[in-house]
Structure 1
């Protein structure tokens, strides 16, 4: 049984569909993901001990006197760390997958946001178990989530610090070296995920450096390159280092991300001439501001977290990507996008929204944007990518005339 990703927790706006027992179980899962209890001490006994079922382990001491009393499920929410053995959530798991999930900053930030929201909505209607006093159960749940939030807050005070990450990518007999500042995620603003360098961007940067020409990154003439949702700026910096004559515009929307992005650009480009050709700009996909001349190449990595995002991106790219020229050889600019494949949680199947957004529409005028090619990339080794990523899809999107 896989561990519960915090991003797969029940939406708080639908609390009325989940019982107090369900929500208590979710809180318990979060607690034991981030603060697992120590393993029990081995018992040196000469007789075998039968393995108890979950219901038997949670049955109150007096239950043998009246077998008609059902296990309400609330016991699992109030059982102490010493009594819980972790089997319900993490049984038969590879410890590496649990460790990767526990270390995922996005999942941790989401868990904190979910717990904070639950405290604010603790009095919302939820189906009650007739066997258990709902007021008492709600009070126990509130005590549990407030203590859990306190543990997270204490950890934040100890561990929230910026991290400098160094990347070296091989490229045609040489190397591209990049240094980035990964700032801590904001617990109060869930849109600040661009403060971290995600696996998709790392994999994409490696592929760009290994074979720039396959992405249209050639030095035959000065290119204009745009990155959407640049985050820490990894792709933009890689392109600017690969092509000293290119003009690169790294864009994002969140103010804190833009400030960190600008700092990363200054770290990697010290000369005024380099700083002039790679810049950080604010860009709202739904309402894109003018960015000058059209772009030959548009890049993006892991930028789709809602079905609306793919549609916004399609409209934005249609406005900024260079259109086909008058001659048959000029097919216009190309948009390269990489997205992770997630098989669980609220971002499950989000890659399919890109297929839908760029599918043929009878009402669209030509030329129009369409998916020209997709490439599947397997999940990389440990330390690259979020715990819920099973692989990646790389899209090549361009203009078609029929």
Structure 2
């Protein structure tokens, strides 16, 4: 259903809901979700440009973006979203749908799915949205079909910037889109000779790790373990809830879990490491995780200790190019430069292997754009100049 009018005119009358198919009802709910769930700023990749000085080539980027509903932040939608009459109408419509599920068409599982989606949106449009809680479903195309992941954002806790991870940031969407487009670059191949272990740093809502786990499930790749980490209590609680929503039952082939990890403590060479951090990881993910100058140094300590040895293991990092965060951005290439050890010049170090500049459309303002840097970081025994 395209968003062409207000809910009071666009939605079918409640008395006719019992005649609609489950797909038609989901279309209605999706229309309302787009209307009342703001988009993520700078989260639609438009172009990628590889640095000429990158020491490795990457798979050429090609992705087909599925048709989208109109920009959720257009003036028309913003006006509808602020209309209290239309919001009240939407709440009554959703409430009727949820409370009269016994009269809906479809199999029990289809009806349960429709009601679950409607109930989640009802909470989002009603009391939850007033406290800043947003439930959003993001879609990522892959060669095997689309991946859809639902995550919940929660507001800052008492204004504490440390709880900012409970929001879905554009960098997480960008990294997720890259994972979905090129799963092999993240170890998701059918001919793996060993299980794949993945660590997400500063996972926040867990989007990137959830997309990787979903891609593994879609590709029928077994033996994949994803450990999503953060340190702020409310962020960890929300992260665990998002994981439980996306993977409600244990899956012997794909495992994803949330765990506490404080980079500052880790940088002090915490020993011994607690499970499941007491093992090396083949892939490490990080998106929008550097917003203080010291973060890059802490993350370098974590990656140096937890990235599995070997040239196939990599840390994938996406950071925004913000004028106000120039120092934080430059700190990445400073701490991940190739530096020979004084004791052993041939000792492996973690260094930037590849760098790309990514341009994204800003959903809030058509025509505007946001830029990101995408780093691939791994082990190197060669003495090279830093990537420029």
Normalising TM by the smaller chain, what interval?
Answer: 0.5 to 0.7
Deviation at residue 158 of structure 1 after TM alignment = 8.6
Instruction: Tell me which residue corresponds to 1:318.
Output: 304
Instruction: Tell me which residue corresponds to 1:338.
Output: 318
2:317 match: secondary structure: strand
1:238 paired to 2:211: yes
Q: Do the aligned residues in 2 keep the contact of 1:286 with 1:316 (CA within 8 Å)?
A: no
2:298 match: secondary structure: helix
- Alignment counterpart, residue 200 of structure 2, candidates 219, 222, 227: 227
Instruction: Tell me which residue corresponds to 1:396.
Output: 376
Deviation at residue 186 of structure 1 after TM alignment = 2.1
C-alpha distance after superposition, 1:294-344 (max 9, x if no partner):
1000000000011210011011011111012xxxxxx2511000000001x
After superposition, the Cα gap between the structure-2 partners of 1:275 and 1:166, relative to the gap in structure 1 and judged at 3 Å, is: farther
Alignment of structure 1 residues 7-46 onto 2, 5 Å: none
1:269 paired to 2:247: yes
2:328 match: secondary structure: coil
Deviation at residue 284 of structure 1 after TM alignment = 1.3
After superposition, the Cα gap between the structure-2 partners of 1:198 and 1:157, relative to the gap in structure 1 and judged at 3 Å, is: closer
1:177 paired to 2:148: yes
Distance in 1 of aligned mates of 2:146 and 2:128: 37
Distance in 1 of aligned mates of 2:140 and 2:228: 20
Deviation at residue 275 of structure 1 after TM alignment = 10
1:198 paired to 2:169: yes
Instruction: Tell me which residue corresponds to 1:307.
Output: 293
Instruction: Tell me which residue corresponds to 1:328.
Output: none
1:177 match: secondary structure: strand
Q: Do the aligned residues in 2 keep the contact of 1:176 with 1:242 (CA within 8 Å)?
A: yes
Choose between structure 1 and 2 for higher RCO, CA contacts under 8 A separated by at least 6 residues. Answer: 2
1:377 paired to 2:355: no
Q: Do the aligned residues in 2 keep the contact of 1:170 with 1:209 (CA within 8 Å)?
A: yes
Alignment of structure 1 residues 1-400 onto 2, 5 Å: 159-221=130-192, 222-244=195-217, 245=222, 246-273=224-251, 277-288=255-266, 289-290=273-274, 291-324=277-310, 331-343=311-323, 345=324, 347-363=325-341, 366-383=347-364, 390-400=370-380
Q: Do the aligned residues in 1 keep the contact of 2:202 with 2:286 (CA within 8 Å)?
A: yes
Deviation at residue 271 of structure 1 after TM alignment = 1.5
Distance in 1 of aligned mates of 2:303 and 2:216: 22
1:272 match: secondary structure: coil
Distance in 2 of aligned mates of 1:278 and 1:367: 30
RMSD: 3.0
2:214 match: secondary structure: helix
Deviation at residue 349 of structure 1 after TM alignment = 4.2
Q: How many equivalent pairs are there? A: 243
1:350 match: secondary structure: helix
Higher Cα Rg: structure 1 or 2?
1
Distance in 2 of aligned mates of 1:392 and 1:240: 24
Distance in 1 of aligned mates of 2:316 and 2:150: 23
Distance in 2 of aligned mates of 1:351 and 1:157: 35
Q: Do the aligned residues in 2 keep the contact of 1:286 with 1:315 (CA within 8 Å)?
A: no
Deviation at residue 162 of structure 1 after TM alignment = 1.1
Q: Do the aligned residues in 1 keep the contact of 2:213 with 2:254 (CA within 8 Å)?
A: no
Q: Do the aligned residues in 1 keep the contact of 2:128 with 2:134 (CA within 8 Å)?
A: no
After superposition, the Cα gap between the structure-2 partners of 1:177 and 1:157, relative to the gap in structure 1 and judged at 3 Å, is: closer
After superposition, the Cα gap between the structure-2 partners of 1:266 and 1:383, relative to the gap in structure 1 and judged at 3 Å, is: farther
